Structure 1
Amino acid sequence: MHPIRTGYLVAARSAVELLADPAVAQRWDAPSALAEFRVGGLAGHLASQVLAVPGVLAEPVPAGEPVGLLDHYARGTWIGASVDDEVNVGIRRSGERYAADGPEELVAAVRAAVDELAAALPAEPEGRVVHLARGPWSLTLDDYLTTRLMELAVHSDDLAVSVGVPTPELPGQALDLVLSLLARLAVRRHGQPAVLRALSRAERAPANVTAF
C-alpha cells in the first residue's frame, strides 16, 4: 500500500488508543490545552480526522483539477483566525458534536471507522481525487490523507498534554510525512532562511517558525 495511506492508518490506530486511555474519560469535561476547547470537544476533533474520511471518499467529485497540497492551506480560512472567529467556533462545535455521546461511544465509532478505512484505502486507485465540499475544492486522496495525518499527530499531542499522558510517538515513516508538511508550511510562512536557522543555528534562530 502507498506509504501515505499506511502512515495515515498507523496514526489513526494510535489515536484510537489515546482516545481509549482512561485519563481522557476522567477529564472529559475539563478544559483542554487549547483555548475554549474542553477535553471532550478536543477528543471529538481528533476523532473527526478519522470519522470524516469515509464521507469524503463517498463525496461526488466534480470536474476540474485538484489543488496542490500547499494551495489547500493557502485557501484555508482558519489559518491566522482568532479563537473567537466563526471558523474556529465552528471547529469547536463540530468537535463537540462528534463527542456528544461520550468517550466510550466515540472510541467505538473511531475504531470501527479505522477498520473500514483499512479495508477501503488499499483498494483506492493511484491518483484518486476526493472533493472537500466545505472548501469547496478537490485534492488527491493522498494529499488529503497527508493533511489528516498531520492533524492526527498535532491533536494527539494536544490531547495527551491536556490529560497528562505521554504524547504517542509515530513510527519514522509517518513522522517524516508530518514533519515534511509542517516544514513546507513553515517555509511558506517565514521564509527558507528562518527555518534553516531554526533547525541549524541557535545563535541566529528566530523566535517563531510555527507552520500556522
Structure 2
Amino acid sequence: MSRADHVAAFLAAVDLTWELANTAPVRDSWSQESSCAGMTVGGLTHHLLNQAGNTARGLQADPRPDEPIPLLAHYESAAWVRADLDDEVNVGIREGDNERALAGPDAVLAAAREDIDALPDLLTRPRDPDTIFIPWQGWALTTEDFLTTRMMEMVVHGDDLASSVGLEAPTYPEGVITPVLGLLTGVAVRRHGQTAVVRALSRPQRAPEVVSAF
C-alpha cells in the first residue's frame, strides 16, 4: 500500500470514528458503564477519539533522530500489552480517559474535531525523518507504522463503543481492515504460536480456546 493510500485509509477510519462518537446513543449514555470494564461510555469515547489527537500531536512534534523500532516489536515492548486489566498501567489509562470525559460530550467532541480537522494538512507535510516519537513509550515508529497502530485502536475500540450503546460496529474499508488484521494476527502469532493461529482460522476442531492478540 502506498503512502497516499495509507493516509487515505487512516483518514477514513478517523471519519468513521467521528461518526460513531457523535451519535445520540453515545451522548445519551455518556456517564454509563461501557463494554470496557471500569470505563464509562464517555471515557471510552475520549480514548477512541484521542487516537486522532495523539496522531496530530505526534505529527506536530519535531521529528527525532531515534531509529524507529519494528511494528511488532512495539507490541512486545509496550507494558500494557501483557498487563492484567487491574494492573497499574491499564487502570491509569481508564482513569485518565474517564476523568477527561467529565468535561462532557460537547467539550470532548469539540476538542477532537480540532485535531481531526488538522490531520489532512499534517499528514501531507514532509518529515525528515518520517517517524513519530511516542513519548509515553519512549521509542519511535515510522509514520506509517504509527498510523497502523492508531487504526487498530480505532477498529477495536470502535467495536467496544458500538457494543456499549447497542449500535452496529462500523464497517471499515479494505485499506483499514487489511493492515489492522495483519497487525492483530502478527501479535497473536507471537503470543500463541503459528500453529495455534492457523488452527483458529482454519481448523476450529483443533484450535485452542483463545488466540487473542491482547
Distance 1:134 1:79 in 2: 14
TM-score, structure 2 normalization = 0.93
Deviations 1:99-134 (A, max 9, x none): 232112222222222221012212345860111111
Q: 2:142 is matched with which residue?
A: 140
Matched, 1:71 2:58: no
Alpha-carbon deviation of 1:203?
1.5
Paired residues for 1:1-212 under 5 Å: 2-125=4-127, 128-212=130-214
Secondary structure of the corresponding residue to residue 131 of structure 1:
strand
Unaligned residue ranges in structure 2 (runs of 5+): none
User: Any conservation in 1 of the 2:59–2:122 contact (CA below 8 Å)?
Assistant: no
Secondary structure of the corresponding residue to residue 78 of structure 1:
helix
Deviations 1:119-166 (A, max 9, x none): 221234586011111111111111111000000000000000001111
Deviations 1:12-52 (A, max 9, x none): 11010001010011111111111111111111111111112
- Once structures 1 and 2 are overlaid, which stretch shifts more, 76-85 or 137-146? 76-85
Distance 2:4 2:75 in 1: 23
Amino acid in the other structure paired with 1:95 = D
User: Any conservation in 1 of the 2:59–2:123 contact (CA below 8 Å)?
Assistant: no
User: Any conservation in 2 of the 1:48–1:98 contact (CA below 8 Å)?
Assistant: no
Distance 2:188 2:32 in 1: 32
User: Any conservation in 2 of the 1:45–1:98 contact (CA below 8 Å)?
Assistant: no
**Residues matched between the structures, number:** 212
TM-score, structure 1 normalization = 0.94
RMSD: 1.6
Distance 1:133 1:109 in 2: 21
Unaligned residue ranges in structure 1 (runs of 5+): none
Distance 1:148 1:170 in 2: 14
User: Any conservation in 2 of the 1:11–1:152 contact (CA below 8 Å)?
Assistant: yes
Distance 1:98 1:49 in 2: 14
Alpha-carbon deviation of 1:6?
1.4
Secondary structure of the corresponding residue to residue 83 of structure 1:
coil
